[in-house]
Amino acid sequence: LHEVHFWTLKDCISINDTDFGSFTYLDKKNPSHCLLLEGKKSYIEKKGSLYSPSNKRPKRLKDSLRELEELLDTHRILSFKWRDLSCIQIILSSGLQITVKVNLLNGDIDEICFDKFMVGKLFSQYLLLLGNAVFTYTDNQVTVVYFSKPLLKCQNIKKWNVLEPKMQSLEICGPAGRRLDRRISFNASEDMVLVWWKCSRDEVYPWSPVVKDEDRANVHIYQVNATNLDLVCFFRTEYDPIEVFFSSKQPNIIHTIQQKISHKGEVTLEWSIIEIRYSQLETTYVLSLLLPTHPCVVSLGPKEDKLFIACIDGSLLIADCDNHISDFVKSTFVNTSLASWHPDDCLILISNEKGQMQWYDTTLSPLKSQFTSEDSTPSTVLDLSVYFKYQPTLLNIIWVAVILSTGSPLRIGNTHTRNIFSGPIAVMKLVCRGRKMKLTSDVIVNQYLATGYVEQAVNLLLTIDWDRNGEVALASLQTIVTYLIRLPLNPFRENLLEKALGCYFNPRKPLSDSVEEEYGDSVHDLARRFFHHLLRYQVLEKAYRLAIDLEEYDLFMDIHNYCKSIGNSDLALAALEKAEEI
């Protein structure tokens, strides 16, 4: 279930008065005497949300919201991201910085702050950290800002002039005389910055003057020291780069995603992991994927061990660091433009520009979802455009990387230029059940079993890595085995039980000794339950083979005694011999 809140005072959103899962701000100057609307207003206020933003000083929230909407109508967005757990930061093409403080409990705006410190300074890319900010331009220039009083996480909104910024413009490496869309990425420790741009293998350089190797390279890594940048290393991508960025987990790891097109037109995607060691670059992992056509969206999972790929023909694919590649599946809509992983790393949300969204798990099984409304029919496609009076264009999907006691808020920034889409920011929140309100694999497995999708639950279990998520894998396995053993045995359920236990006894990659030591006894207990379930339904040959795998004396004696009682002397004798061997 989803709730959605549109941050707008304009008459561009159409929401029924009986829809208690979708909200927008209303102006008190236009009172309605509709009984249903009064009831919805009472519901909104009693749950602690805003029905109409106040215009009291010092925040003057209503005027600030109107100004925000006008700015989004007239300016292009350069950056839209979460600065911390409660603040969204928006950078417009004019250089204006907008900080929106959000109440994550209900998705309301608490405060809007406009900072004009960089207005009038033209730049193409921008990145703000706690102690520095970096601006890149289309030429070989970069501006580094160092804050003498750095930003602190979850503190009150502060304008830049309070932080005592020091600015310096520097010249960086790159081909002279070319205007390039330079992109930037900071490492996890925020002491190195990566600058890169797209290039092709067929680029031509003049004979004179001689172009240096660092100027031919399209990826440069710099050490950040206050307002100075020192070149650490550089390289040129072998193929056409799609994404190059620092790992968010390890400060010296770089991910590159490149596209290669052969003379025959075959498209290959190459995912590489590069490590920086003492100013030297070393490639530690490479995965090449042959695609049916050109990729339109690539997205790395939160744990950086899975890569999602969507192609222009609607094909979807997930690959992981252990070289396991899912089968291609077709999405409901072809023109996928956005993909965003849930922070729990089990689900991914894809969307097209029209605002049609679809959930998938890590096996690429589609999940049904719906908005909280009168219509109780879930669907595989969640259509945000039904709330608009015109066709919207969805620009971005950004998660808050935190799970709250009230659910997992999803932030969607769907703003674009005026002539295409100049609409509001929407806030969506997942309405989850349970205390922790997480969407980990074991939670999704429980949801599958509750709705009767047992095969999808088993397939999801097989994707869980025992080394990284042993507790989740064991909990999911116990839930599935318990669910199936309570039902009468048939060939389909027998196969599912065997497949589920195979995630441990026949894993995709060898289990470590620590995993076997920690979880081995619990899994063996589940296998024994499966054995007695087989014996109860007289599936004797499979029960005998399972007893051989488990190598336990009492299981063979159970087979011996049972077969002896029903007159199967051959199997009874074989089981007795095995028991005596043990």
Name the E strands within 123-252: 125-128, 132-136, 141-147, 165-171, 183-186, 192-196, 219-225, 228-235, 240-246
Q: Is residue 172 a part of any domain in this protein?
A: yes
Q: Is residue 180 a part of any domain in this protein?
A: yes
The secondary element (H helix, E strand) that includes residue 526 is: helix 513-536
Q: Which long-range contacts (CB under 8 A, 24 or more apart) does 561-568 make?
A: 562/535, 566/538, 568/540
Quote the pLDDT of residue 406: 35
Q: What is the DSSP string of 204-227?
A: ---SSSPPPHHHH-SEEEEEEETT
Q: Is residue 486 a part of any domain in this protein?
A: yes
Quote the pLDDT of residue 203: 67
Q: Is residue 48 a part of any domain in this protein?
A: no
Q: Is residue 260 a part of any domain in this protein?
A: yes
Is the pTM value of this prediction over 0.95? no
Distance CA 443, CA 440 (A): 5
Quote the pLDDT of residue 379: 83
CATH at residue 467: 1.25.40
Q: Is residue 57 a part of any domain in this protein?
A: no
The secondary element (H helix, E strand) that includes residue 316 is: strand 315-320
From the first residue on, what is the mean pLDDT of each consecutive set of 10 residues in the chain (582 residues)?
86 84 79 75 84 87 92 85 82 88 85 88 68 84 85 64 86 84 90 90 64 88 92 93 94 96 92 94 94 94 93 93 84 85 91 90 91 75 85 83 42 32 76 67 93 95 92 96 95 95 91 93 94 90 87 86 84 85 80
Domain end position, chosen among 265, 291, 317: 291
Domain end position, chosen among 271, 291, 311: 291
Q: Which CA distances in Å does 369 have to 24, 360, 410, 442?
A: 21, 11, 14, 18
C-alpha radius of gyration, the chain, whole number: 28
Q: Is residue 265 a part of any domain in this protein?
A: yes
CATH at residue 265: 2.130.10.10
β-strand pairing of 408-412 with 398-399: antiparallel
Our count of domains for the chain comes to: 2
Domain end position, chosen among 291, 310, 341: 291
- 176-210 per-position pLDDT tens digit: 878 888 899 999 998 999 999 988 766 666 655 66
- 273-310 per-position pLDDT tens digit: 999 998 899 999 999 999 999 999 999 999 999 999 99
Q: Is residue 239 a part of any domain in this protein?
A: yes
Quote the pLDDT of residue 38: 81
Print the domain residue range for 486: 441-581
Distance CA 526, CA 508 (A): 20
Quote the pLDDT of residue 366: 93
Q: What count of other Cβ atoms lies within 10 Å of the Cβ of residue 237? A: 21
